[in-house]
Structure 1
Amino acid sequence: MASSARTNNSAEGESSAGRRRPGRPTLSNEQLLDKALELFFEKGFDGTSIDAITASAGMAKRTVYARYGDKTSLFKAALSRAIDEWIVPVERLRAAECDDLEETLLRIGQILVTNVLSPAGLRLLRLTNAEAMHMPEISTGNVQRGTEPTLAYLTDLFRRHLGGPDGARDDAGQAAQAFLNLVVGGPANNAAWGMLIDPDEVERHTRYSVRLFLHGFLDRNAQTSPDEERALRELLGEARAQLDEARARLDQAARLA
């Protein structure tokens, strides 16, 4: 009887163990990176601890270390994932093309500027700018993953539209870089420094920048009206002022570092 009771108790224990509620499921890598990135955005790299990340993710520290090794590797992985989700696919830019080059460039410029000024774009800009001094490789990675595919696409676009029958144009790559600097660089730099930009002003900037680019790139002898020339001069003056301000702030940040 005693043996039977022990057997029954053992069976009941095993049955009870089998009915135990499973523990909290471990987050996927993507979920962990998203949790970590939110904290990095909020507090920066130095202000975010592994303890805070594991508490937010409900995950053991040993699990995080087993996956990524250290906080720096986790930060870079989270940032890389965010960049991959944020960048505009080349296919979307190609889908914006039409027969008119100026209209094509305007559409592409609007897509890129809207993307860089989106909440995700602004957070990435400010986070990468804040940490690039200590980890310059993250800026390099940003360029490789986001900017280089766009530059390659624009280079091909200019060759197809402006390179003649054989598609040859030696300065197509330089033109692609100039287009990005002129059309997207201004709003991006302002946003990175926390300057509020009126949407109507952004649209005006995009349209005039595209026109300025085309007049300079396609026909240096093209005639424009006095109002157009004045607007273009104002745009150039604004760009120079923004560049001077950015340089001054970079110099100040370097002195304080």
Structure 2
Amino acid sequence: MRRGAGRPTTEQAEARHEELLDAALDLFLEHGFELTTIEMIAARINMTKRTVYARYADKPSLFRGAVQRAIERQIVPQDVLAGFDQGDLAATLESVARLRIGQVMTPNGLRLQRIINTESYRFPEIFTANFEQSAKPVLDFVAGVLDRAIATGQISPTDSGFAASAFMSMVVGGQVRAIVSGRVPARAELDRRINFTVRLLLDGLRPRGDERKEAP
């Protein structure tokens, strides 16, 4: 459809901006940062270079903007995380794992992980931004769930931050690496792996012997 003449509305301008960022991320992933040009990105969506430069001073700025938008799409609202905590520790952790793995299986999640894998040596700040904005809030939520489980005697006293990191590495990290490389497991197999590793983690954290007697 041909765009109407005259000044675009705010909604139209934002939609074009989103097109620009999507096209930029696609091309940076397809060709790498070095080989991708502003001309290529503008041509992909029939936009002038002048319009691109009106928003972004240079290619690195556009790259960071495209990655930042992809990160923001991966942020999990706190109310969604809170909804997972229904009192069953294993079920809560399984829900978190399915959510994080499912995010990586989306087109946005795959692009983001792959661009971080290929370009974070050049732009280390994108790795940090992804961790701080997307991963850390989930880690903090898991640590809080584990703290409550410690308080009620479900698991032994431990460093909940380390335990949350181990959870993400064991349950999520391995699956993410496989998915990003193109080896996507079937849903039943994914559920089996999640269930197994969550229970393996919790078995290692549960009180034993005298610890059970001392639990509140």
Bin for the TM-score computed over the shorter chain = 0.7 to 0.9
1:22 aligns with 2:5: yes
Which sections of structure 2, spanning at least 5 residues, go unmatched? 210-216
The residue correspondences of 1:24-173 to structure 2 (distance < 5 A) are 25=8, 27-28=13-14, 29-164=17-152, 171-173=159-161
How far apart in 2 are the matches of 1:24 and 1:44? Answer: 34
Moved over 4 A (4+): 23-26
Note the C-alpha offset of 1:142.
Answer: 1.0
SS of the residue corresponding to residue 195 of structure 1 reads coil
Which sections of structure 1, spanning at least 5 residues, go unmatched? 1-20, 222-257
The residue correspondences of 1:206-225 to structure 2 (distance < 5 A) are 206-219=194-207
> Do 1:155 and 1:176's aligned partners in 2 also have CA atoms closer than 8 Å?
yes
> Do 1:27 and 1:57's aligned partners in 2 also have CA atoms closer than 8 Å?
no
> Do 1:129 and 1:192's aligned partners in 2 also have CA atoms closer than 8 Å?
no
Instruction: Kindly provide the amino acid, as one letter, of the partner of residue 32 in structure 1.
Output: L
Q: Aligned-pair RMSD on alpha carbons?
A: 2.3
Structure 1 residue aligned with 2:164: 176
Relative distance call for 1:54 and 1:157 in structure 2 (3 A) is same
Instruction: Kindly provide the amino acid, as one letter, of the partner of residue 27 in structure 2.
Output: L
> Do 1:159 and 1:172's aligned partners in 2 also have CA atoms closer than 8 Å?
yes
Note the C-alpha offset of 1:207.
Answer: 0.5
Note the C-alpha offset of 1:148.
Answer: 1.0
> Do 1:32 and 1:57's aligned partners in 2 also have CA atoms closer than 8 Å?
yes
Structure 1 residue aligned with 2:214: none
Note the C-alpha offset of 1:71.
Answer: 0.7
How far apart in 1 are the matches of 2:52 and 2:164? Answer: 41
Relative distance call for 1:35 and 1:119 in structure 2 (3 A) is closer
- Structure exhibiting the larger radius of gyration computed from Cα positions: 1
Note the C-alpha offset of 1:46.
Answer: 2.6
Structure 2 residue aligned with 1:200: 188
Instruction: Kindly provide the amino acid, as one letter, of the partner of residue 185 in structure 1.
Output: G
Note the C-alpha offset of 1:134.
Answer: 1.9
Q: Deviation string for 1:36-78 (max 9, x for gaps)? A: 2232233332332100111223332223223111111101111
The residue correspondences of 1:1-20 to structure 2 (distance < 5 A) are none
Instruction: Kindly provide the amino acid, as one letter, of the partner of residue 61 in structure 1.
Output: K
Q: Deviation string for 1:92-112 (max 9, x for gaps)? A: 121122122112212222222
Using CA pairs below 8 Å that are at least 6 residues apart, which structure has the higher relative contact order? 2
Q: TM-score, normalised by structure 2?
A: 0.81
SS of the residue corresponding to residue 172 of structure 2 reads helix
> Do 1:33 and 1:78's aligned partners in 2 also have CA atoms closer than 8 Å?
yes
> Do 1:88 and 1:112's aligned partners in 2 also have CA atoms closer than 8 Å?
no
How far apart in 1 are the matches of 2:18 and 2:151? Answer: 43
Structure 2 residue aligned with 1:255: none
Note the C-alpha offset of 1:170.
Answer: 5.7
The count of residues paired between Structure 1 and Structure 2 equals 198
